[in-house]
Structure 1
Amino acid sequence: MTEYLLARMQEGMVLLYAFSLIFFYMDFLLNNRKAKKAAFWLLYVIWLVQTILVVDFYIRTARLPLLSLEQGLYFYSWLLITFSILINRYWKVEFIAFFTNLLGFIIVVIYTFAPFQWEESAVSARLISELLIIHIVITIFAYVIFSLSCIFSLLYLLQYQLLKKKRWGKRLIRINDLSKLEQYAYLLNSIGLPTFSVGIILGLQWAFIKIPTLHIFDAKIIGSFFIVFIYSMLVYFRLRKNMAGKRLAFYNISAFLVVLINFFLSGNFSTFHF
């Protein structure tokens, strides 16, 4: 295979990994069987692509990709997927594929977009540039999801006030019932959290390649991980602590304010997006 084709296949595999990981997370959090089925179909495609690449490497070099740390990581990620599929097929261990997929995704991202991976500078530069584009698109998509979740919480508070003050009318009827509004906000947070996390992983990989002086305590990095922590707590409180109602809606709106602060203000104190 040509180097360009290999680059395209591995880049596509990263995207499939990201979507598979999001679907696995939805199944893990929401017990959604349709999401689980979609995640495994994507995982089978990923395994097929990785197998083709491993076989191609063996044909070209007459050996398995094991003689360097980078090659070993790639072979390790392929074995992770292989065994996770086999375990799920014969042992039916729930969620094993989710965690192995998460680890495999991180390894493949590092391997695919590492500067030592491609000999041709044009291919390397293009991959790194596209990595940045993918990071931006996924992160913006997560921002949209968080925005919609915040809107549902605002509608929840509005509906709550209308019911409390007994202001019956068309406005009350047109807004959905409280339980539905809360459910939609929670569902969106459950989707937005893994989506944003995937965007962070891709963004960090790009930053470590392109910004040699980047510090781990950069304001943008700290702010992004703080967002992951806040929304993880929101999902945890809703799922395990049975927190609901007006209190959870206020927390969700406050979490989105943190997103806005990270988006508009932390960049002024960061070299990440310079």
Structure 2
Amino acid sequence: MLELSMTRLHEATVVIYALSVLLYFIDFLNNNRKANRIAFWLLAFVWLLQTIFLCLYVVKTGRFPVLTIFEGLYFYAWVLITLSLGINRLLRIDFTVFFTNVLGFIVMAVHTFAPVQVESHALAERLVSELLLIHITMAILSYGAFTLSFVFSLLYLIQYDLLKRKKWGKRLTRLGDLSKLEKTSYILNVIGVPLLLLSLILGLQWANIKLPAIPWADPKIIGSFIVLIAYSIYLYRKVRRQVYGRTLAFWNLGSFLIVLVNFLLFGSLSGFHFWYS
């Protein structure tokens, strides 16, 4: 019972860490200080839990946790979180903080969902299944964000066409303001990209545990990375290249077509995405 409770706490820590990374990503793109503050305190809570777990482990084993690869990963994740908190509070280098936390999340996910460290075989299998559940949930949430973003971009193009042809009326006012449509579409992609990235990290960890080797040539894996790249280019063009309007909206529509192809076609061609046993 105690082992199961500790496992649940570790899983909750990963979820909180994922939310912190998402908020740091929003701050990284938009210089959103409110998101940065919330992300910092979430990360501080993760650090507190990790420190408690670390101390309990030291008390239980009577030694420092660095003698095995999994112990080393845990301590490494704790060090990365500690450094990230220090950089965020003292140096305020947001670029470094974001990417340090992405690496920290990868290390924590590998450690938390590795069944080798779990004594009970049944609990280990359950842990792997829950890893898959979190992976799928994050992927679906990211696809949901991309779908809504697609809708807002489509409405933007319809509104733009109505304005260009001077088709005034109730339909024009009901569609919303062009700048608001574009901003909402962008915000949804800002949420979707890190969710998809975190989902891919967890998915690769699941594949590493359940499969003899990660099938990098699998259509679903390739398609997922193409989706991530397409939306990352969208964000890059928006933030760095200052691309706006119809050009960005059409790029968003094209990216969503890749999402549909990946979800409907590549999913059916995948050799393992429906093999969960």
Would the TM-score normalized by the shorter structure come out above 0.5? yes
Superimposed CA distance per residue, residues 212-271 of structure 1 (whole angstroms, 9 cap, x where no aligned partner): 254111111100001110000000011111111111111101100100100000022212
**Partners of 2:207 and 2:213 within 8 A in 1:** no
Alpha-carbon distance between aligned partners in 2 of 1:94 and 1:216, rounded to the nearest angstrom: 32
Q: Is the Cα contact below 8 Å between 1:220 and 1:272 reproduced in 2?
A: no
Aligned counterparts, 1:252-267, within 5 A: 252-267=252-267
**Counterpart check, 1:240 vs 2:263:** no
| Structure 1 equivalent of residue 20 of structure 2 | 20
Alignment correspondent of 2:131: 131
Q: Residue 7 of structure 1 corresponds to which residue in structure 2?
A: 7
Asked whether the equivalents of residues 115 and 127 of structure 2 are also in contact (C-alpha less than 8 Å), the reply is no
Unaligned runs of 5+ in 1: none
Q: CA deviation at 1:104?
A: 0.8
Q: Any conservation in 2 of the 1:135–1:203 contact (CA below 8 Å)?
A: yes
What is the distance in 2 between the residues matched to 1:31 and 1:92?
A: 12
State the SS of the aligned residue for 2:115: coil
SS of match in other structure, 2:160: helix
1:69 maps to which residue? 69
Could you say what the CA RMSD is over the residues aligned between the two structures, in angstroms? 1.3
Aligned to 1:54: 54
1:107 alignment counterpart: 107
Contact 1:21/1:98 (<8 A) preserved: yes
- In structure 2, C-alpha distance between the alignment counterparts of 1:89 and 1:157, rounded to whole Å: 42
Whichever residue aligns with residue 147 of structure 1, its letter is: T
Task: Give the equivalent residue in structure 2 for 1:179.
Answer: 179
Identity of aligned residues (%): 51
Matches within 5 A, 1:110-189: 110-189=110-189
Structure 1 equivalent of residue 40 of structure 2 = 40
Match of 2:97 in 1: 97
| Residues 102-161 of structure 1: CA deviation (Å, up to 9, x unaligned) | 111000110111121101011111111111111111111111100010000100110011
- Report if aligned partners of 2:73, 2:107 keep a CA contact under 8 Å in 1: yes
Q: Which residue of 2 aligns with 1:82?
A: 82
Pair 66,261 (structure 1): closer, same or farther in 2 beyond 3 Å: same
Take 2:117 and 2:271, find their aligned partners in 1: how far apart are those partners?
A: 25
CA–CA distance in structure 1, aligned partners of residues 38 and 272 of structure 2: 34
Could you tell me how far 1:92 is from its partner in structure 2? 3.1
CA contact (8 A) 1:214 1:271 kept: no
Q: Deviations over 1:32-87 (max 9, x none)?
A: 11111111111011001100111011101111110012211110110111122123
- Secondary structure at the aligned position of 1:265 is classed as helix
Equivalences, count: 274
| Inter-partner Cα distance in structure 2 for 1:190 and 1:178 | 19
Of stretches 205-214 and 230-239 in structure 1, the one that deviates more from structure 2 is 205-214
